[in-house]
Amino acid sequence: MDKKNIKSIINNLIQKGETKKALDILLTEKFDKQNKEIVILCNRYHEIKKKSRLGIIILQEEQIELNKINVAVLEILENINESKISSEKNEQNIFTNSNLKTIILSICIVILLIFTVIYYSLKINKPQLEEKILTKSESLNPTSTESFERPENKEIIKESNLEKDLELEQAIKHILSKKPDDSNEFEQLIVNNQFEKALEVIEIAETRTKDKYLLTHLDNRRKSIYLIREHDIDNAWISFPRTLILTVKENKYGLLNRKGEEVCKPKFNEIEPLFFGNLYCTILDSMYGFFNEEGEEIFKTVFSEVNPMIFDEFTLVKKDGLYGLLDIDGNFILEPKFNQIERVMEDLIFTNENEKWGVIDTTGYQILENDYEQLEYIKKEGLIYAVKKGKGEYLDRKGRLTTNPALN
């Protein structure tokens, strides 16, 4: 893609809120100097989306974080342009000093040729030298049955150990990052069942930080590795909110308690803690159920609709086409038998059953039976206008008859 057009294309994508597409374009173009920053932004994007999906952050917080990523993307674009201008200036300087560099290059070539000649002359005599060393070694230890280790083998072993060290360092770097990502080197150790190596990475990482948040994170990951190994699962989240631990195997979710005992096997499409209350909502094939904090399945996936946000401390549920309300512990305030439920005040809820309206308070106490064709709450006066059998009347918040506020 023409680099002149990249900036305008990405600007348009960011204005449309398509941050992911903008990041994908930057990754595809492979800007060497900025590639690491782009990868970090991609990881941050996936982390934000994951937190949003699990309910850890609200929509406004998600948008703020995405805006930060957008600003960072625009800064990278500016750096790319500045880098391009700088490279053009450097190119001019190269042409200006070309004669000097040609002389230096010629000297380097001559030195390289000398060293090459010396190297190959030594290499030709190397087998004879090794044979002498081997003969001498056997004469000193004639009973030894071990074969003589060639220097080439030692070099291979050193290179192999070096590669392992680099892999270890990369894993330590990722786990100490404050922007972890499921696809990094450390998490790949767990995916590949290299548990001992993952535990070694954690042990080294703990010596390189004093950050309390990171130390807690490292301890949680150590515990999760023990659980993964014990229960034969793909991953476990110790930091899952409240009292239970989220597990996953083959993209299905389950739960453990804090003792490491299995509450339910990984079988659900999703498990999310409710923002209000002490419940975990399970989702399976577009049906909803609930576990409490003690790990008891108080409702199997029998609800077709769940909305925990309308009534704050209450959760609206729908079963067999009818609505009900659960309190924060999963007890029914209202059984699912109503066609409609509306909260009109902090402590007043209107219910509709068989086309008849009634009123309850937030404890479930029935203020008015479902006998009315129409109910309307007059907020200014704090009264209820009720129509029963075609006749209208005014009632106070306790359901007692009162006078028309216009007459006062």
Q: Is the pLDDT of residue 4 over 90?
A: no
pLDDT band at 115 (very low <50, low <70, confident <90, very high): low
Residue with tokens 């920053």: 37
The span from the CA of 396 to the CA of 139, in Å, is 112
pTM of this structure: 0.56
pLDDT tens digit string along 296-323?
A: 999 999 999 998 867 777 899 999 999 9
Mean of per-residue pLDDT scores for the chain? 79
Both structure tokens of 249: 């195997």
Both structure tokens of 97: 């000093």
Per mean pLDDT, which range of 15-19, 145-149, 255-259, 292-296 is the poorest?
145-149
For residue 278, what are the CA distances in angstroms to 145, 176, 275, 283, 310? 70, 32, 9, 17, 17
Residue with tokens 């782009």: 38
The span from the CA of 314 to the CA of 316, in Å, is 7
Strand spans (E) along 296-400: 297-303, 305-311, 314-319, 322-326, 332-338, 340-345, 348-353, 356-361, 366-372, 374-378, 383-388, 391-395
What pLDDT does residue 158 have? 42
Both structure tokens of 77: 């674009």
Using DSSP, state whether 127 is helix, strand or coil: helix
Question: What share of the chain in percent tops pLDDT 90?
Answer: 38
Q: Is the pLDDT of residue 205 over 70?
A: yes
Per mean pLDDT, which range of 64-68, 135-139, 369-373 is the poorest?
135-139
What pLDDT does residue 275 have? 78
Query: Taking the mean position of all CA atoms in its chain, how far away is CA 4?
Result: 34
Name the strands in the sheet holding 383-388, side by side, starting at the edge strand that comes first in the sequence: 374-378, 383-388, 391-395, 401-402
Average pLDDT over residues 23-31: 71
pLDDT tens digit string along 212-261?
A: 988 998 999 999 999 999 999 999 988 888 899 999 999 999 999 999 99
The span from the CA of 257 to the CA of 194, in Å, is 25
The span from the CA of 25 to the CA of 8, in Å, is 12
- What domains, with CATH codes, occur in the chain? 3-93 (no CATH), 339-408 (2.40.10)
Q: What are phi and psi of 118, to 5 degrees?
A: -60, -45
* 59 or 10, higher pLDDT: 10
Per mean pLDDT, which range of 113-122, 171-180, 398-407 is the poorest?
113-122
Among 311, 319, 321, 320, smallest CA distance to 364 is for 311
- Highest mean pLDDT among 27-31, 64-68, 101-105, 253-257 belongs to 253-257
User: 212-231 and 195-206 helices cross at what angle (nearest 10)?
Assistant: 170
CB 334 within 8 A of CB 360: yes
pLDDT tens digit string along 53-93?
A: 666 777 667 777 887 887 887 777 777 665 554 555 554 55
